[in-house]
Amino acid sequence: MISNYIKNADFEDTGFSYTLWLINERHKPVILYCLMEFGTVRFNEMRRYLKKVTDKTLSMNLKVLERDGLIVRKEYPQIPPKAEYSLTERGKSLMKILDLLCVRGEENLRRRHFRQTELK
């Protein structure tokens, strides 16, 4: 029998769901992590960091992150045009979470590598 708590619960109304929604695209967490690691980054630098991302996809993700208040875009009136991206305070607040994911991933990669080495 399902408890009334579960029956009436709505995952989409949780803070966990909202946080996942903020970073749900494939490249968003990588963009945020890049800005955490390198501070202010230009569009072409970001594209090189992400390797296999199209200009359109990167541009779309940057616009969404800016709209959601996680990054700020600073434009310089020059030719050729120059724009730089950096984290807002709100974006920086997500970095603790992303950093923990990174640490967890690195630990698991080491364990996986160790297990594969043992099997050989």
- The pLDDT confidence band at residue 5, using thresholds 50, 70 and 90, is low
- The pLDDT confidence band at residue 40, using thresholds 50, 70 and 90, is very high
Q: Please give the residue range of the domain that contains residue 73.
A: 10-119
Average pLDDT, the chain: 84
Q: What is the largest CA-CA distance in the chain?
A: 67
pLDDT of residue 55: 92
Identify the bridge partners of residue 71 per DSSP, sorted by sequence position: 87
pLDDT of residue 45: 93
CATH number at residue 99: 1.10.10.10
Who wins on pLDDT, 13 or 70? 70
- The pLDDT confidence band at residue 11, using thresholds 50, 70 and 90, is low
The terminus-to-terminus CA distance of the chain in angstroms comes to 48
pLDDT of residue 15: 73
pTM reported for the whole predicted model: 0.74
What's the total number of domains in the chain?
Answer: 1
At residue 96, does pLDDT exceed 80? yes
| CA–CA dist 7, 43 (Å, integer) | 46
